[in-house]
Chain A
């Protein structure tokens, strides 16, 4: 069973190569504001998370996912729902 901590840890690993500004990656770090990620990079990151856990993260969910913590919650929720 995947728990939230392991989901979070893996998300940090996926973000790390895209963190070109080398900002500290915390629960409250934001993608657009802190990391200055452009929308294309964010969408590619979403695709890699979908493939990692074989889940579906529709793009229309993204406006509500501003921080790493929010993404971890959403991914964990989708993984748990999948069972």
Chain B
């Protein structure tokens, strides 16, 4: 007899079916029939404002970016059909890595096929048997998976807690290799890391430091490099990991570094070596977008303005937000439980507003969230529409709101 390997998922199947049996739309089954712009799409025939795309800088439809992709697909074809270390590195890939080196002011850049693979590859390759990886408890799944794939010993410290990090580092053998993994912005609650404290402690204990700037690239710091730049710790960060699927507006991942031996990683990093490279059109789009982001100061200012408008507006209407002030371009609304979250999410989508529904174990501390990510191209009118719909949805769902102070 065959054991059904999917039987282990029966409880989740039942939970998901139970959720849908209440008549709500599937929060994890959205299809965008048409994408009108970085901020609008047609979903189930309805014109919808997108507020959960991570498309922070609105580069997906930038005419220069689109033109670069079209030229690359014409000149280099639809795909590379090969690994970066064999036949999968084209001129377009080199130009993309050059754009990253210029953007970050660093001497080395390595482009992976996704951001997930960049973390998976860097974390698992840097730390091996006998080494230690020290990671923030709220780290992204790709970092946890990179830890699992490494043969290192894994130590987890309390989220953004410098004292807890120090306590745990003191227990480690001084002679062991150590990698501290941090994120600039934590994407569930939208809070940022106190990098100066964390990095100083890591360095004092002889650790190398990797910072994931997936949600910070494009609009933190003078050059848009991320939270680590804004907080002035660039000299003490050994590796910066990032993604093309947020501010850059396409797909892909990368790591940049000034480490003199960095290039050897191309030959030993399995998630880099043993997969096909990105299509030429994707890296051409990314290179063009990255170069435009270097000087996108007006867009950065606009993104922060729209973020403050949404955060302030939700707060004034009595919604319970994950951060007291807008720390990043993610604004998360704390919800009481799964049922209320799903109902509110479903009501918002019927009203033409798309946000992300997030639930444990993706979220820390078992919280349920309606997560909004803002785009520099959201107009004040769109934000005001969103605020009105949030208020209307809360009434329709009988969601208790705080009385504004």
Q: Which residues of A contact B (CB under 8 A)?
A: 38-40, 43-44, 46-47, 50-51, 54-56, 58-60
Residues on B with C-beta less than 8 A from A46 are: 156
Q: Name the distance in Å between A65's Cβ and chain B's nearest Cβ.
A: 14
Residues on B with C-beta less than 8 A from A51 are: 167
Q: Name the distance in Å between B63's Cβ and chain A's nearest Cβ.
A: 44
Q: Name the distance in Å between B330's Cβ and chain A's nearest Cβ.
A: 20
Q: Does B301 lie at the interface of the complex (its beta carbon under 8 Å from any beta carbon of A)?
A: no
Q: In the complex the two chains form, is B360's CB within 8 Å of A38's CB?
A: yes
Q: Which partner residue on chain A sits nearest B132 by CB separation?
A: A58
Q: Does B154 lie at the interface of the complex (its beta carbon under 8 Å from any beta carbon of A)?
A: yes
Residues on A with C-beta less than 8 A from B137 are: 43-44, 47
Cross-interface CB contact of A47 among B148, B156, B360, B361, cutoff 8 Å: B156
Q: In the complex the two chains form, is B364's CB within 8 Å of A56's CB?
A: no
8 A Cβ contacts from B148-177 to A: 148, 152-156, 158, 167-168, 171-172
Residues on A with C-beta less than 8 A from B168 are: 50, 56
Q: Does B366 lie at the interface of the complex (its beta carbon under 8 Å from any beta carbon of A)?
A: yes
- Asked if A47 meets B154 with Cβ closer than 8 Å, knowing A38-B360, A40-B360, A56-B171, the reply is no
Q: Does B147 lie at the interface of the complex (its beta carbon under 8 Å from any beta carbon of A)?
A: yes
Q: In the complex the two chains form, is A58's CB within 8 Å of B153's CB?
A: yes
Residues on B with C-beta less than 8 A from A55 are: 171
Q: In the complex the two chains form, is B360's CB within 8 Å of A58's CB?
A: no
- Tell me, in angstroms, the Cα distance from A39 to B364 when the chains sit together: 11
Q: In the complex the two chains form, is A40's CB within 8 Å of B361's CB?
A: yes
8 A Cβ contacts from B23-41 to A: none
Q: In the complex the two chains form, is A40's CB within 8 Å of B364's CB?
A: yes
Q: Name the distance in Å between A8's Cβ and chain B's nearest Cβ.
A: 22
- Tell me, in angstroms, the Cα distance from A40 to B48 when the chains sit together: 35
Cross-interface CB contact of A38 among B152, B153, B154, B361, cutoff 8 Å: B361
